[in-house]
Structure 1
Amino acid sequence: MKNFIIGFFILLFFSCTSDDDKKENPIDNPSFSVDLLLNRWKYNQVNINGQQFLYGHQPNCNKDEFTFANTEGQIRQYSELTFVNDICSSNTTIMEWKIKNDIISLYFGIEKVIDFKVITLTAESFVYSYIYDIDNDNVADNIIIFAVPYE
């Protein structure tokens, strides 16, 4: 009986240890300052497959924006607000973010939605890229977003 109890506790110890080892660290070895990321940003420019454009904000609306937060009630929360027409109808998207090296992954629940590759991040500028077929031609497009702090 004594061997059974000792064996049970050894098994329990290793089971708990292996579960802890499998847990993913949501902020893993970032190549940039996470403190700089935690901000409200507005879109400034976009580069699509090498062609640079000013971002097309709706002229009568606030600026399209996104925010990375990590506070009580907004743990690793990404939110985006875009205005879809000239009467300022808007879409809001809220997801969870995780970081590994220079990649910010956005999740809706447990489903990964997209990866952003951080190119540069300073207090004055945030530049990131992602791959997405924006014109639905079955060819992935390289998009680079240039953002500045929302004022």
Structure 2
Amino acid sequence: MKRLLLSTFILLIIISCSKNEELEGEPEIIDPRESYFAEAIIGSWSINTVKVDGQIFLYPHTDSCKKDFFQFYNEQGKEFDFEETIVLNCDNCAPCATSTTNLRWELSGAIIKFYFGEQYVTKYKLIDVTETEFTYQLEIDYDNDGDLDVLEISAEYYDPYGNFD
């Protein structure tokens, strides 16, 4: 009985050691764009155009107000914080009325997932990010026909309050 227990124990040690060696030897698959995107998206952006079904439309900002914009933060006190500010539709508002939404963001490869607390909200598929441009895809039923539509959003760097200077 002791031999059986000892043999089983030794066998378990050999198996666990060989599995650890296999795991250590296998390279971890990392999307090289992820580290670039994690740094490049930090900043303040304003939507310029929306591409739907091959057609490009200018984003309708409210005249005489700051543009609608969104900001990605990742610093102390604002870890993985996303803020989107839109101007409410008002023609003669002074000052311009705005609404801000705060979410938490998480990056995996070229996908940014957004959460309100623990609740998943939506995701962006990053197409390209440079110092001055931010392009992503968003799946949403924008025309309320029950089918998800793929929108390609192009934004430009826009920091109306100097938060990222």
TM-score by length of 2: 0.71
Indicate whether 1:96 and 2:104 are aligned: yes
Bigger Cα displacement from structure 2, 52-61 vs 29-38: 29-38
Q: Is the 8 A contact 1:40 1:149 kept in 2?
A: yes
Secondary structure, in 3 states, of the residue corresponding to 2:33?
coil
**C-alpha distance 65-138 of structure 1, shift in aligned 2 (>3 A):** same
Identical aligned residues as a percent: 35
**Which has the higher Rg, Structure 1 or Structure 2?**
2
1:24-49 Cα distance to aligned partner (Å, 9 max, x none): xxxx8462422211001111111122
The CA distance in 2 between the partners of 1:84 and 1:30, in whole Å, is 39
1:63-74 superposed matches below 5 A? 63-74=67-78
TM-score by length of 1: 0.77
Indicate whether 1:56 and 2:64 are aligned: no
Per-residue deviation, 1:58: 0.3
Secondary structure, in 3 states, of the residue corresponding to 1:97?
strand
The CA distance in 1 between the partners of 2:120 and 2:31, in whole Å, is 19
Which segments of 5 or more consecutive residues in structure 2 lack a partner in the other structure?
1-29, 160-165
Bigger Cα displacement from structure 2, 130-139 vs 62-71: 130-139
Match of 1:13 in 2: none
CA-based RMSD: 1.5
The CA distance in 2 between the partners of 1:125 and 1:30, in whole Å, is 19
The CA distance in 1 between the partners of 2:98 and 2:55, in whole Å, is 27
1:64-85 Cα distance to aligned partner (Å, 9 max, x none): 0000000111100000000121
Indicate whether 1:108 and 2:116 are aligned: yes
Secondary structure, in 3 states, of the residue corresponding to 1:31?
helix
Which segments of 5 or more consecutive residues in structure 1 lack a partner in the other structure?
1-27
1:72-87 superposed matches below 5 A? 72-85=76-89, 86=91, 87=93
1:46-103 Cα distance to aligned partner (Å, 9 max, x none): 1122210111000121000000000111100000000121323221110000011110
Match of 2:8 in 1: none
Match of 1:4 in 2: none
Per-residue deviation, 1:140: 1.0
Q: Is the 8 A contact 1:30 1:102 kept in 2?
A: no
Q: Which has the higher strand share?
A: 1
Indicate whether 1:118 and 2:126 are aligned: yes
Secondary structure, in 3 states, of the residue corresponding to 1:59?
coil
The CA distance in 1 between the partners of 2:68 and 2:80, in whole Å, is 20
Q: How many residues align?
A: 124
Q: Is the 8 A contact 1:30 1:99 kept in 2?
A: no
